Chain A
């Protein structure tokens, strides 16, 4: 069974940093691109970032480019999202998802990031 388990969320002050992790199991992690998608409280889904199988190619939404860095460790089957210069508008549940040919399946259960004083 494919499983994605996010961790690392929490409360952080504006301007602070946080690193999210997503542990994958049940599939050949190194064979798939991986992504982060977020959902602000009461709002819709927003794509954040995607990384290629090798990690050599990354993509970012304009709203996070220059502040967030996606990476992966294929030896540990783990995806990461380093978030710097956090803002109140980054408050959201962050989901990791396996990406295949443009769609996301499956998704993890998400980890909540709250940016507030």
Chain B
């Protein structure tokens, strides 16, 4: 089965750029989606198909995907961006999530 690997935690200074990676075998050939989950709340889609933002998601959120790594980039990080982030792909009739990354804004 396909596996996605994320760092357990990432820290970023307020106003700086955070990058959260998602590793998988030849993940660049797949569509990667990203979700933000604030404490005690349901996940929210922030990036779909590698780099597309749903309506209502700030331009500060962007995504890229190539080779064996997909990346979620959050520019000008704000305190409200502190949350858990999950990458996800579809693979052969299954929907696969990464283990999640806790983003801390210092």
Interface SS of B by simple majority: strand
**Complex: how many Å from CA A104 to CA B33?**
9
User: Which of B41, B42, B97 touches A47 (beta carbons < 8 Å)?
Assistant: B97
Interface SS of A by simple majority: strand
- The 0/1 profile, CB within 8 Å of B marked 1, for residues 32-70 of chain A is 000101000000111100100000000101100000000
What bracket does the count of chain B residues touching chain A fall in? 20 to 34
User: Which of A35, A50, A95, A102 touches B89 (beta carbons < 8 Å)?
Assistant: A102
Q: Which residues of A contact B54 (CB under 8 A)?
A: 105
Q: Is the CB–CB distance between B43 and A45 below 8 Å?
A: yes
Number of A-B contacts (CB under 8 A): 64
Centre residue among B41, B42, B97, B98 by max chain A CB count within 10 A: B42
List 22 A–B pairs whose Cβ atoms lie within 8 Å, in order of A's numbering: A37-B43, A44-B84, A44-B97, A44-B98, A45-B35, A45-B37, A45-B43, A45-B97, A61-B94, A95-B42, A101-B31, A101-B48, A102-B89, A103-B33, A103-B45, A103-B49, A104-B43, A104-B95, A106-B42, A106-B45, A107-B43, A110-B42
Q: Which residues of A contact B (CB under 8 A)?
A: 35, 37, 44-47, 50, 59, 61-62, 95, 99, 101-110
